[in-house]
Amino acid sequence: MTDVLTLTEGAVLRIRLNRPKAIHALNTGMCVGMLDALNAAEGDPAIEAVMIDHAEGRGFCAGGDIRMIAESGAADGSAARDFFHIEYQLNHRLFTYPKPIVAFMDGITMGGGVGISQPARFRVATENTKFAMPETGIGLFPDVGGGWYLSRLPGRIGQYVALTGYRLDGAECLALGLATHFVPAAALDAVKAAIGATPQALAAILDDASTVAASAAILAHRADIDRLFASDRLENVLAALAADPGEWAAAQRATLSAKSPQAMKVSLRLLAEASAMTDFADEMRQEYAVATRVAQRHDFIEGVRALIVDKDNAPRWNPATPEGVSDATIDAIFAPLPAHEAWTPA
């Protein structure tokens, strides 16, 4: 079975993720296939638009091939580097693509799924959408452009989502601008058929199909998020949560206690630097340098062991405390790669 289906329907390039048993988690071959299809379609005047969705199963895309990356990271890291390089090329290609793209974020949309949906001009959420960047729980960080997208959310919501791995529903995605439209899942087939028939009317078709989403629950905590997650220093965030007597703050503190201290510090640094960037290619170059190093560090390999391989959900982080993760360690993770090793656009 082909892990990704790329087909032309009328004047539309359809990209359909087709790895249902893995909730369509991306592997190197899938990224290559999507990139090749996009490159061919760009030069084809008959193709007017691109649709990205999943062929079957309960989610759009659960992320990347984490187990492979961890196995590679525990060895020489070359396969992990190859994957990140092509995946980030795909992310950047989608971001800069000249033809309109619509991504259907129906169901689980996490990690790598965020990376191939957020660059799209049109991003459709449904009542099934579960959008998250849960990487700190496995010792990683919100990559695939996560630094760029999360740092541009209102207030400190991006920092909150990056640290906690909070799952946003479709209504929350719409309210925060992560989705451009909210369409009931039952209407998706008809919407896709309409786009396939008249892609030049893509925007109008989505506007007509959109319904009013429920209220965005996360906004009820906006003031608390902005206050408690105000600092780019992890120790300050944890101190603010500890000093707050409320149940919500206690719940966030408990959530963060299970995350990798190193990964949380990397995430805060990533968002702080991404917020000042003006070129998405610079973001991908930075994330690639960080990812290739983090993939070979203890916390990522241990996080994947604990949550994905052995599933004991008891990772032993090292260092085990935020204070143990030195500024020098974070600086080394973020250092630019030598020119011959650095990420380059496709």
Q: Residue 346's domain is classified under what CATH number?
A: 3.90.226.10
Q: In the chain, what is the straight-line distance between the N-terminal and C-terminal CA atoms, in Å?
A: 27
Count of residues making up the chain: 346
Task: Tell me the pLDDT tens digit for each residue of 211-265.
Answer: 987 899 999 999 999 999 999 999 999 999 999 999 999 999 999 999 999 999 9
Residue 171 pLDDT: 97
Residue 325 pLDDT: 98
Tokens (6 digits) for 118: 């957020």
Average pLDDT (6-34) is 96
Residue 212 pLDDT: 86
Q: Which residues are catalytic?
A: 64, 112, 135, 143
Closest CA to 182 of 202, 153, 209: 209
Number of alpha helices (DSSP H) and beta strands (DSSP E) in the chain: 16, 10
Q: Is the pLDDT of residue 1 over 80?
A: no
182/125 Cα distance (integer angstroms): 5
CA distances to 13, 165, 234, 307, 341 from 321, in Å: 48, 19, 10, 19, 32
Tokens (6 digits) for 62: 């659960």
- Domain region containing 231: 1-346
Average pLDDT (306-328) is 97
Task: Tell me the pLDDT tens digit for each residue of 131-152.
Answer: 999 999 999 999 999 999 999 9
Residue 250's SS3 state is: helix
Closest CA to 265 of 298, 232, 307, 314: 232
Averaged confidence pLDDT in the chain: 97
Task: Tell me the pLDDT tens digit for each residue of 28-70.
Answer: 999 999 999 999 999 999 999 999 999 987 899 999 999 999 9
Q: What percent of the chain has pLDDT over 70?
A: 100
Residue 58 pLDDT: 81
Residue 75 pLDDT: 96
Q: What is the tally of structural domains in the chain?
A: 1
Residue 57 pLDDT: 79
| Strand ranges, E, within the chain | 4-9, 12-17, 49-54, 59-61, 101-105, 108-110, 122-125, 130-132, 168-169, 181-182
Residue 99 pLDDT: 98
Binned at pLDDT 50, 70 and 90, residue 129 comes out as very high
Torsion (CA) 171, 117, 25, 34 in degrees, nearest 10: 160
Give the global pTM. Answer: 0.97
Contact 147, 286 (CB under 8 A): yes
50/111 Cα distance (integer angstroms): 21
Return the biggest CA–CA distance within the chain.
61
